[in-house]
Amino acid sequence: MSTELAGRSVVVTGAASGIGRATALAFARAGAKVLVADLNAAGADAVVKEIDGAGGTAVAVAGDLSDPQVVDRVVGRAVETYGSLDVLVNNAGIMDRMSALGETDDAEWERVIRINLTAPFLLTRAVLPHMLAAGRGSVVFTASEAGLRGGAAGAAYTASKHGVVGLVKSLAVMYREQGIRANAIAPGPTATNIQVDAAPGAHGPALIGRLVGANIGRLGTAEEQAAAIVFLASDAAAFVNGVVLPVDDGWSAV
Ligand code: NAD
């Protein structure tokens, strides 16, 4: 068994920036054929150029992944271009305003749940028929420390990432007999372009700052997160299913 992914077809969402970009580049270096999916069309094209320039294979699809039509375009393009869809990385995500539940308005809740939880649901449902037909597949999600604990972000983001953990476990159990694995990474703080959305709520941020405090480790790199995603997607993790792997310098161990 090896982490050799040569020839595999991989969709990475949120791949124009941060953890997704590093993941797309890492898969391409391992010989996989990559579909770069992101809202940011220029950023997605730049990642495709970078992969092409290094001798790899990639195409981009731009659009909002919480739109079912964009989801269908992503899956259709991957299958049409590469003939299969072996790996899905549900990575795209946004932060909330760090609001406590009482400060969370409907718009914040709906935006965060739609992008962080509903979009991965839609995309995974759309790739399943292709993986089931092939009798194999691997889905990796980018959850968060906020999918493991209550004091790492606001109510909407925390609920969305706990929801992602639920999707991982349900998929892992429901599809293991069909050769499909589902796992997640739970990144600790990582240097990317992600930002707390708009004006933060009054109560949440101060409390979260106090709770996180010295427990948090060093700032990680996108490449360190990508390496864990590639491992979980690969045959080296053939017996790893339903796991949420903290990649966090020990934060979750405190
Ligand atoms: P990032 O902002 O650098 O990258 C996120 C990418 O997702 C961007 O390119 C953005 O355009 C894209 N995106 C956002 N909404 C989208 C949508 N609706 N449709 C398509 N693309 C969309 O941030 P990142 O830190 O690399 O985030 C990647 C994942 O990592 C997210 O799920 C985030 O919640 C998770 N995460 C990040 C950290 C951290 O500290 N950076 C910690 C824990 C979890």
Catalytic residue among 157, 158, 161, 192: 157
Best mutation site among 25, 114, 142 for ligand 1, i.e. most ligand atoms within 8 A of its Cβ?
142
Asked if 87 and 140 touch (Cβ cutoff 8 Å), the reply is yes
Pocket of ligand 1 contains residue 17 by CB under 6 Å: yes
**What is the residue with the minimal CA distance to atom 17 of ligand 1?**
64
What is the fold, at CATH topology level, of the domain defined by 9-253?
A: Rossmann fold (3.40.50)
Pocket of ligand 1 contains residue 248 by CB under 6 Å: no
Pocket of ligand 1 contains residue 170 by CB under 6 Å: no
Q: Which structure tokens are listed for 14?
A: 């949120």
What's the farthest any 2 CA atoms get from each other in the chain?
51
Q: Report how far residue 94's alpha carbon sits from residue 63's, in angstroms, rounded to the nearest whole number.
A: 15
Q: Pick the atom of ligand 1 nearest to 195's CA.
A: 2
Pocket of ligand 1 contains residue 147 by CB under 6 Å: no
Angle at 250 between CA 245 and CA 253, to 5 degrees: 85
Pocket of ligand 1 contains residue 93 by CB under 6 Å: yes
Q: Which strand (E) or helix (H) includes residue 163? A: helix 155-175
- The pLDDT averaged over each successive group of 10 residues in the chain (254 residues) is 82 98 98 98 98 98 98 98 98 95 94 98 98 98 97 95 98 98 97 81 75 84 98 97 97 92
What's the pLDDT score for residue 1? 47
What's the pLDDT score for residue 3? 65
Asked if 221 and 188 touch (Cβ cutoff 8 Å), the reply is no
Pocket of ligand 1 contains residue 163 by CB under 6 Å: no
Alpha carbon 59 to its chain centroid, in Å, reads 18
What's the pLDDT score for residue 2? 59
For 113-146, the DSSP string reads HIIIIIHHHHHHHHHHHHHHHHT-EEEEEE--GG
pTM above 0.85, yes or no: yes
Q: Which structure tokens are listed for 196?
A: 């707390």
Beta bridge partners of 134: none
Q: Which of 158, 136, 155, 139 is nearest to 147 (CA)?
A: 158
What's the pLDDT score for residue 213? 77
Asked if 115 and 65 touch (Cβ cutoff 8 Å), the reply is yes
Q: Which structure tokens are listed for 38?
A: 């992101």
Distance in Å, CA 30 to ligand 1 centroid: 22
Pairing of strands 57-62, 180-187: unpaired
Determine phi and psi for 39, rounding to 5 degrees: -65, -35
Give yes or no: 157 in active site: yes
CA atoms within 13 A on the CB side of 213: 5
Q: Which of 120, 111, 170 is nearest to 11 (CA)?
A: 120
Q: Tell me which DSSP letter residue 57 carries.
A: E
